Amino acid sequence: AMEDVSAKFVSQKISRTRWRPLPAAALQPPDLFATGSWDNEDNRISIWSAGDLGNAGLNGEYHGEPHLLCDIQHNGDVMDMQFLDQERIVVASSTGTVTIFRHHQNNQTLSANHRWEKAHYHVDQDTSCGGAACTGVVCSNPEIVTVGEDGRINLFRADQKDAVRTIDNADSSTLHAVTFLRTTEILTVNSIGQLKIWDLRQQRNEPSQIFSLAGDRVPLHCVDRHPNQQHIVATGGQDGMLSIWDIRQGTMPVSLLNAHEAEMWEVHFHPSDPDHLFTCSEDGSLWHWDTSTNVSEKPSFLHQGGRSTAYLSHSTINQSVVSAWLSNDPTKDRMEITNLIPNQTLSVNSLDVLGPCLVYGTDAEAIYVNRQLFA
């Protein structure tokens, strides 16, 4: 229910929100998150405390609002952002620069720890206006992979000054997002509706596999990999559709699901409960997709904000491991979709989920935290 959501107005448009990862053995819910802004004269990276859980009311509902712990100026729009570890955040800029910021928890400050100037550029790195936006970043500590408007892929290591590897003309179109499939393999999505797999062990500068949306060449903006089944990938793009891919078979999506009415900006499988997936859009909505099979026994929060049941299209090949996302059994194909923000108007640019908590940021200059996603 909306009562579980706390809002904070921050007088800057928020382009990215990310939970700080929890230590491996942690039992508590996530407490800190980072935001990045865009389209402001003075963009910032900010670290927030999600609020005081000690403020819970009689029924355990949560009243604290997020509060700012520290922030630092960022040159250019924040295009993407990911925590490298508990203390460091990698940030991609519209200027083409990639920066690692360190959060000093003892005195609550942020500092620039390392910077790769113009990791992405159009003509050459030296011209003053040569920077090309770095559109996506993904980390697997100490490795960092970045992609950009220049169609370039960089592999950095957190402790090294120069790129470990650069694939200069990886793509002739804009690369919008990147994710790790496994330690040595990445997957990119581009502005003409293609997914490409790159094997970083190979010295060749060509993808090992290419997948594409049939015919339409719809720009893809976001991608996420199923946390336990590496062959299942979700993407979203300019037309707001959610596509589910099985990279073991075919070159086209297994399912195309009608979703948002405008660009889908981010898609995230829940990291520990991947039957749940979340998408957000330019149309001001944030959808929770629930494919867990006992939908009928779900608590009523699913019916908040307009509920609909969708059916996946079927793939013809029997899966050896049937995930709900690739299911062939029509009775299992039901899923519930809930818009978690029924009357939002401006773009929801970013979301992140961890444990029972959701954080999202909007062009309405606000960040929102829901601490009871599965209440």
Q: What is the CB neighbour count within 10 angstroms for residue 203?
A: 7
267 within domain boundaries? yes
> Residue 46 sits in which domain range?
5-55+68-293+321-370
Q: Is residue 301 part of a domain?
A: no
Q: Are 260 and 283 in contact (CB under 8 A)?
A: yes
**CA distance readout (Å), 84 to 21, 72, 138, 140, 142:** 9, 18, 9, 7, 7
**Closest Cα partner for 349 from 34, 48, 80?**
80
The reported pLDDT for the residue numbered 52 is: 62
Give every strand in the sheet of 43-49, ordered side by side. 14-19, 32-37, 43-49, 67-74
**Residue 308 within any structural domain of the chain:** no
* Domain-embedded: residue 172: yes
Q: Is residue 205 part of a domain?
A: yes
pLDDT score at 215: 76
CATH, residue 120: 2.130.10.10
Short-list 367, 355, 363, CA closest to 21 = 355
pLDDT at 139: 96
- Full-prediction pTM beyond 0.85? yes
Other Cβ atoms within 10 Å of 7 Cβ, number:
14
Give the chain's end-to-end CA distance (angstroms, integer): 9
Residue 312 lies in a domain: no
**Number of structural domains, the chain?**
1
In terms of Cβ atoms closer than 10 Å to its own Cβ (0-12, 13-18, 19+), residue 67 is exposed
Count Cβ neighbours within 10 Å for each residue of 154-186 and write b for 16 or more, e otherwise: bbbebeeeebeeebeebbeebbbbbbbbeeebb
Q: With contact defined as beta carbons under 8 Å apart, do 231 and 246 qualify?
A: yes
Residue-level pLDDT, tens digit, the chain, 375 residues: 455 788 899 999 999 999 999 987 888 889 999 999 999 989 999 999 997 655 555 555 555 789 999 999 999 999 999 999 999 999 999 999 999 999 999 999 999 999 999 999 987 766 666 789 999 999 999 999 999 999 999 999 999 999 999 999 999 999 999 999 999 999 999 999 999 999 999 988 999 999 998 777 899 999 999 999 999 999 999 999 999 999 998 888 888 888 999 999 999 999 999 999 999 999 999 999 998 865 444 333 333 333 333 433 333 333 333 567 886 444 445 688 899 987 777 999 999 999 999 999 999 999 999 998 887
DSSP secondary structure, 20-63, as one string: PPPPTT--SPP-EEEEEE-SSSSEEEEEEE---GGG--TTS---
Give residue 18's identity as a one-letter amino acid code: R
Specify if 315 maps to a domain: no
Quote the pLDDT of residue 128. Answer: 61
Question: Is 187 part of any domain?
Answer: yes
d(CA 195, CA 191): 10
